Amino acid sequence: MTDMTKTDTFAGRVALITGAGQGIGRVFAKGFARAGAKIAIVELNEDSGRSVAAEVEAECGAGTVIAIRADVADPAAVDAAIAETLEAFGRIDIAINNAAIFSTLKMRPFEEIPFDEWRQVMRVNVDGVMLVSKACAPVMRGNRHGRIINISSGVVTMGRPHYLHYVASKAAVVGMTRAMARELGADGITVNALLPGATFTEIERETVTPAQKTQILNMQCIKRHETADDLLAAALYLASDGAEFVTGQSIAVDGGTTFR
């Protein structure tokens, strides 16, 4: 795969990335930093956030990243995270709404999903996207430029069973992406969503058996497992000046598992 991060494309830009203490978010933080951006890691797990920040600093130098502990579903915590980012870097150009609950969820029929679990998924996966976007939008409006990238999921188009709360939350992300694109376009802000397929990262996926991994490959046109780098390449494009006329789109990055 071509490394799209070995550039200074985002020099002078600041990317705020939620859920960047592991998995896809970790790869985003390191990739955007390599491409020249300053990085604000917004992560509930303080140790994980600091660990990724240390990785970024080791590769890209001191002063390139800050780690902020925040619950994206807490309005006051989100506002404080935005304020801390502005104090450190003076601007926010890119917001990537990646924080979500999924890997800890158990597959079960929707009628067996505890309501408390349903609400927690909605709180993080839906409320978090709205709150972070809401807090970043005025900053981007002031710059007359901005990129909001929301991480949805291919399960929306597949209608994947036994994860109704997750599927519903990621469908909401697609709807919010379209509505926010309509509201923010006149201010030079684009809003797009990525729909990953089954993406394998360092996060242990106990729910995925060897047989299921084989099934995943059989469903894809491209016969290899998806990695976070596949998503990074798409995110770098959407955040770039080359994508200034692309907004309101939900782009599947899944090796051809779904067609839309």
**Cα maximum dimension of the chain:** 51
Buried b (16+ CB within 10 A) or exposed e, 204-241: eeeeeeeeeeeebeeebeeeeebebbbbbbbbbebbbe
Residues 32, 102, 163, 166: which is the catalytic one?
Answer: 166
Identity at 131, one-letter amino acid code? L
Q: Is 163 a catalytic residue?
A: no
CA distance linking residue 97 with residue 194, whole number of Å: 10
Q: Which residues have CB under 8 Å from 218's CB, separation 6+?
A: none
Beta pairing partners, 68: 42
Helix 23-34 / helix 46-60 crossing angle, nearest 10 deg: 30
For 175, phi then psi, to 5°, come to -65, -45
The catalytic residue positions are 166
